[in-house]
Amino acid sequence: MSSPKLHGQVAVVTGASSGIGRATALALARAGVQVVLAARTQATLDGVVQECAQSGTRAIAVPTDVTDEQLIAALMERAVQECGQLDILVTSAGGAAFGPIMESRTEDWDMLMNVNLRGTYLCCKSALKHMLPRKSGHILNVLSIASHMILPGSTAYTASKFGALGLTKVLAAEVRSEGIKVTAVIPGAVDTPLWDKSGGDLDRTKMLSPGDVADAMLSVIAQPAGIHTDELHLMPPLGVL
Ligand SMILES: NC(=O)c1ccc[n+]([C@@H]2O[C@H](COP(=O)([O-])OP(=O)(O)OC[C@H]3O[C@@H](n4cnc5c(N)ncnc54)[C@H](OP(=O)(O)O)[C@@H]3O)[C@@H](O)[C@H]2O)c1
User: Is the CB–ligand 1 distance for residue 18 below 6 Å?
Assistant: yes
Q: For domain 10-234, which CATH number applies: 3.30.390.30, 3.60.150.10, 3.40.50.720, 3.90.1170.50?
A: 3.40.50.720
User: Is the CB–ligand 1 distance for residue 95 below 6 Å?
Assistant: yes
Asked if residue 225 has pLDDT above 70, the reply is: yes
Residue to mutate, 194, 204, 217, ligand 1, most ligand atoms under 8 Å from C-beta: 194
Q: From ligand 1's centre to the CA of 226, what distance in Å? A: 31
Q: What is the arithmetic mean of pLDDT over 95-110?
A: 96
User: What gap in Å lies between CA 125 and CA 137, rounded to an integer?
Assistant: 13
Cβ atoms of 48 and 37 within 8 Å: the answer is yes
Q: What is the arithmetic mean of pLDDT over 116-137?
A: 98
Sign of CA dihedral 161, 75, 223, 30: negative
User: Is the CB–ligand 1 distance for residue 24 below 6 Å?
Assistant: no
- Ligand 1 atom 16, closest CA: 19
Residue to mutate, 13, 92, 116, 217, ligand 1, most ligand atoms under 8 Å from C-beta: 92
- Ligand 1 atom 2, closest CA: 190
pLDDT tens, residue by residue, 8-38: 999 999 999 999 999 999 999 999 999 999 9
User: Is the CB–ligand 1 distance for residue 92 below 6 Å?
Assistant: yes
User: Is the CB–ligand 1 distance for residue 32 below 6 Å?
Assistant: no
- Mean of the per-residue pLDDT values for the chain? 96
pLDDT tens, residue by residue, 191-201: 999 999 876 67
User: What gap in Å lies between CA 187 and CA 210, rounded to an integer?
Assistant: 10
Cβ atoms of 88 and 11 within 8 Å: the answer is yes
How confident is the model at residue 12, as a pLDDT?
98
pLDDT tens, residue by residue, 134-168: 999 999 999 999 999 999 999 999 999 999 999 99
How confident is the model at residue 3, as a pLDDT?
80
Active site residue 157: yes
- At a CB cut-off of 8 Å and minimum separation 6, what does 170 contact? none
How confident is the model at residue 200, as a pLDDT?
67
Asked if residue 240 has pLDDT above 80, the reply is: no
Asked if residue 94 has pLDDT above 80, the reply is: yes
User: What gap in Å lies between CA 118 and CA 115, rounded to an integer?
Assistant: 6
